[in-house]
Protein backbone atom coordinates (compact mmCIF):
# COMPACT_ATOMS: atom_id res chain seq x y z
CA UNK A 1 0.00 0.00 0.00
CA UNK A 2 1.31 3.41 -0.99
CA UNK A 3 0.86 5.68 2.03
CA UNK A 4 2.55 8.74 0.58
CA UNK A 5 -0.69 9.97 -0.97
CA UNK A 6 -2.51 9.81 2.37
CA UNK A 7 -2.87 13.36 3.62
CA UNK A 8 -4.29 12.75 7.11
CA UNK A 9 -2.49 10.79 9.82
CA UNK A 10 -4.13 9.91 13.11
CA UNK A 11 -2.08 8.36 15.88
CA UNK A 12 -2.77 6.51 19.07
CA UNK A 13 -0.55 7.88 21.81
CA UNK A 14 0.42 5.40 24.56
CA UNK A 15 2.54 2.58 23.20
CA UNK A 16 2.60 4.18 19.73
CA UNK A 17 4.09 7.68 19.80
CA UNK A 18 5.14 7.16 23.43
CA UNK A 19 6.83 4.22 25.09
CA UNK A 20 4.25 2.01 26.78
CA UNK A 21 4.26 2.76 30.51
CA UNK A 22 0.81 1.70 31.70
CA UNK A 23 0.51 -1.35 33.92
CA UNK A 24 -3.15 -2.02 33.20
CA UNK A 25 -3.38 -4.88 35.67
CA UNK A 26 -2.15 -2.59 38.44
CA UNK A 27 -4.49 0.21 37.35
CA UNK A 28 -7.41 -2.22 37.45
CA UNK A 29 -6.34 -3.31 40.93
CA UNK A 30 -6.21 0.29 42.14
CA UNK A 31 -9.65 0.95 40.70
CA UNK A 32 -11.14 -2.28 41.99
CA UNK A 33 -11.93 -3.49 38.48
CA UNK A 34 -11.53 -7.14 37.40
CA UNK A 35 -8.30 -7.31 35.40
CA UNK A 36 -9.84 -8.95 32.35
CA UNK A 37 -12.18 -6.03 31.68
CA UNK A 38 -11.54 -2.89 29.62
CA UNK A 39 -11.18 -0.05 32.10
CA UNK A 40 -13.39 2.62 30.52
CA UNK A 41 -16.21 0.22 29.78
CA UNK A 42 -16.00 -1.29 33.27
CA UNK A 43 -16.23 2.16 34.85
CA UNK A 44 -19.23 3.13 32.72
CA UNK A 45 -21.04 -0.01 33.91
CA UNK A 46 -20.82 1.13 37.56
CA UNK A 47 -23.55 3.09 39.37
CA UNK A 48 -23.23 6.80 38.58
CA UNK A 49 -21.69 8.01 41.90
CA UNK A 50 -19.11 5.21 41.92
CA UNK A 51 -18.33 5.69 38.22
CA UNK A 52 -17.67 9.40 38.82
CA UNK A 53 -15.26 8.60 41.66
CA UNK A 54 -13.43 6.01 39.57
CA UNK A 55 -13.09 8.41 36.64
CA UNK A 56 -11.47 10.97 38.92
CA UNK A 57 -9.15 8.32 40.33
CA UNK A 58 -8.21 7.08 36.86
CA UNK A 59 -7.45 10.63 35.72
CA UNK A 60 -5.01 11.10 38.58
CA UNK A 61 -3.29 7.77 37.90
CA UNK A 62 -2.88 8.72 34.24
CA UNK A 63 -1.62 12.22 35.07
CA UNK A 64 1.07 10.69 37.28
CA UNK A 65 2.15 8.43 34.41
CA UNK A 66 2.07 11.33 31.95
CA UNK A 67 4.73 13.28 33.84
CA UNK A 68 7.29 10.52 33.19
CA UNK A 69 6.37 9.72 29.59
CA UNK A 70 9.04 9.27 26.93
CA UNK A 71 8.77 9.49 23.16
CA UNK A 72 8.88 6.27 21.19
CA UNK A 73 12.08 5.77 19.20
CA UNK A 74 11.58 7.28 15.76
CA UNK A 75 8.50 9.30 16.74
CA UNK A 76 10.12 12.71 16.28
CA UNK A 77 11.64 11.78 12.91
CA UNK A 78 8.32 10.42 11.68
CA UNK A 79 6.35 13.48 12.76
CA UNK A 80 8.96 15.77 11.23
CA UNK A 81 8.66 13.91 7.93
CA UNK A 82 4.89 14.21 7.94
CA UNK A 83 5.08 17.91 8.79
CA UNK A 84 7.63 18.50 6.01
CA UNK A 85 5.12 16.97 3.58
CA UNK A 86 2.32 19.22 4.90
CA UNK A 87 0.28 16.29 6.18
CA UNK A 88 -2.48 16.75 8.74
CA UNK A 89 -1.66 14.92 11.97
CA UNK A 90 -3.77 14.26 15.02
CA UNK A 91 -4.00 12.22 18.21
CA UNK A 92 -6.89 9.93 19.13
CA UNK A 93 -6.51 8.36 22.58
CA UNK A 94 -8.62 6.71 25.25
CA UNK A 95 -6.91 9.01 27.75
CA UNK A 96 -8.51 12.34 28.57
CA UNK A 97 -7.44 15.35 26.52
CA UNK A 98 -5.69 16.82 29.58
CA UNK A 99 -3.65 13.66 30.07
CA UNK A 100 -2.83 13.49 26.36
CA UNK A 101 -1.67 17.10 26.28
CA UNK A 102 0.56 16.66 29.33
CA UNK A 103 1.97 13.40 27.98
CA UNK A 104 2.90 14.96 24.65
CA UNK A 105 4.50 17.93 26.41
CA UNK A 106 6.56 15.67 28.68
CA UNK A 107 7.82 13.83 25.58
CA UNK A 108 8.52 16.96 23.56
CA UNK A 109 5.94 15.92 20.97
CA UNK A 110 3.43 18.66 21.69
CA UNK A 111 5.03 20.97 19.12
CA UNK A 112 3.69 18.78 16.30
CA UNK A 113 0.01 18.93 17.25
CA UNK A 114 -2.60 21.63 17.17
CA UNK A 115 -4.57 21.38 20.41
CA UNK A 116 -7.81 21.03 18.42
CA UNK A 117 -6.38 17.90 16.82
CA UNK A 118 -5.75 16.09 20.11
CA UNK A 119 -8.87 14.10 21.00
CA UNK A 120 -9.44 12.12 24.16
CA UNK A 121 -12.28 10.17 25.71
CA UNK A 122 -13.85 13.43 26.91
CA UNK A 123 -13.98 14.82 23.35
CA UNK A 124 -15.83 11.98 21.61
CA UNK A 125 -16.94 8.41 22.10
CA UNK A 126 -13.77 6.41 22.87
CA UNK A 127 -12.13 4.00 20.46
CA UNK A 128 -13.13 1.70 18.80
CA UNK A 129 -15.87 4.20 17.93
CA UNK A 130 -15.00 6.03 14.68
CA UNK A 131 -16.34 9.31 16.08
CA UNK A 132 -12.88 10.76 16.77
CA UNK A 133 -11.61 10.05 13.27
CA UNK A 134 -14.80 11.39 11.75
CA UNK A 135 -14.46 14.58 13.80
CA UNK A 136 -10.86 15.13 12.69
CA UNK A 137 -11.61 14.44 9.05
CA UNK A 138 -14.51 16.86 9.10
CA UNK A 139 -12.20 19.46 10.65
CA UNK A 140 -9.63 18.81 7.94
CA UNK A 141 -12.23 18.63 5.15
CA UNK A 142 -10.87 15.24 4.14
CA UNK A 143 -12.04 11.65 3.66
CA UNK A 144 -11.19 8.20 5.07
CA UNK A 145 -9.69 7.21 1.72
CA UNK A 146 -7.00 9.86 2.26
CA UNK A 147 -6.32 8.92 5.87
CA UNK A 148 -4.35 6.52 8.07
CA UNK A 149 -4.88 5.31 11.64
CA UNK A 150 -1.71 4.16 13.42
CA UNK A 151 -1.77 2.28 16.71
CA UNK A 152 -0.51 -0.59 18.81
CA UNK A 153 -3.77 -2.17 19.97
CA UNK A 154 -6.83 -3.77 18.42
CA UNK A 155 -9.02 -0.79 19.40
CA UNK A 156 -6.86 1.45 17.20
CA UNK A 157 -7.16 -0.88 14.23
CA UNK A 158 -10.91 -1.34 14.71
CA UNK A 159 -11.34 2.42 14.91
CA UNK A 160 -9.63 2.80 11.56
CA UNK A 161 -11.66 -0.02 10.05
CA UNK A 162 -14.89 1.44 11.44
CA UNK A 163 -14.03 4.82 9.93
CA UNK A 164 -12.79 3.39 6.61
CA UNK A 165 -9.16 4.54 6.85
CA UNK A 166 -5.98 2.61 6.17
CA UNK A 167 -4.63 0.95 9.33
CA UNK A 168 -1.04 0.55 10.48
CA UNK A 169 -0.32 -1.80 13.37
CA UNK A 170 2.76 -0.84 15.37
CA UNK A 171 3.97 -3.88 17.33
CA UNK A 172 7.53 -3.93 18.67
CA UNK A 173 7.28 -7.71 19.14
CA UNK A 174 6.37 -8.37 15.51
CA UNK A 175 3.56 -10.68 16.66
CA UNK A 176 0.71 -8.76 14.97
CA UNK A 177 -2.16 -10.44 16.78
CA UNK A 178 -4.92 -8.88 14.66
CA UNK A 179 -3.79 -9.23 11.01
CA UNK A 180 -7.37 -9.13 9.77
CA UNK A 181 -7.69 -5.54 10.96
CA UNK A 182 -4.40 -4.12 9.65
CA UNK A 183 -3.17 -3.06 6.24
CA UNK A 184 0.47 -2.73 7.24
CA UNK A 185 2.47 -3.99 10.24
CA UNK A 186 5.65 -2.33 11.52
CA UNK A 187 7.97 -3.04 14.45
CA UNK A 188 9.67 0.37 14.51
CA UNK A 189 8.38 3.82 13.61
CA UNK A 190 11.44 4.32 11.41
CA UNK A 191 10.03 1.69 9.05
CA UNK A 192 7.01 3.86 8.48
CA UNK A 193 9.11 6.99 8.16
CA UNK A 194 11.37 5.40 5.56
CA UNK A 195 8.43 4.06 3.57
CA UNK A 196 6.77 7.48 3.44
CA UNK A 197 10.00 9.28 2.58
CA UNK A 198 10.84 6.86 -0.26
CA UNK A 199 7.37 6.95 -1.74
CA UNK A 200 6.98 10.72 -1.58
In this predicted model, what pLDDT tens digit does every residue of 85-122 receive, in sequence order?
Answer: 999 999 999 999 999 999 999 999 999 999 999 999 99
Peptide bond between residue 15 and the one before it cis (omega within 30 degrees of 0):
no
Cβ neighbours of 24 (radius 10 Å): 12
Cα–Cα distance between 150 and 148 in angstroms, integer?
Answer: 6
Contact call for residues 124 and 135 (beta carbons, < 8 A): yes
In this predicted model, what pLDDT tens digit does every residue of 111-165 receive, in sequence order?
Answer: 999 999 999 999 999 999 999 999 999 999 999 999 999 999 999 999 999 999 9
Cα–Cα distance between 200 and 15 in angstroms, integer?
Answer: 26
The domains located in the chain, with CATH, are 8-19+71-199 (3.40.50.1000), 24-66 (1.10.260)
Backbone angles phi, psi at 17, to 5 degrees: -80, -20
List, in sequence order, every residue forming a beta bridge with 119; answer none if it has no partner: 92
pTM, to two decimals = 0.92
The helix (H) or strand (E) run that includes residue 91 is strand 88-92
DSSP 126: P
Helices 189-199 and 75-84 meet at what angle, rounded to 10? 20
Amino acid sequence: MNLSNRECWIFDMDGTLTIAAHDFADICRQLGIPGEKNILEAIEALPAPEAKARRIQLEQIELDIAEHSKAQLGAIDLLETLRSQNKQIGILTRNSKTVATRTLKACGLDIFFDTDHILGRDCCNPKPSPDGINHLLQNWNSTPQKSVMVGDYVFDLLTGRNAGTATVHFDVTGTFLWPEHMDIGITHLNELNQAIAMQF
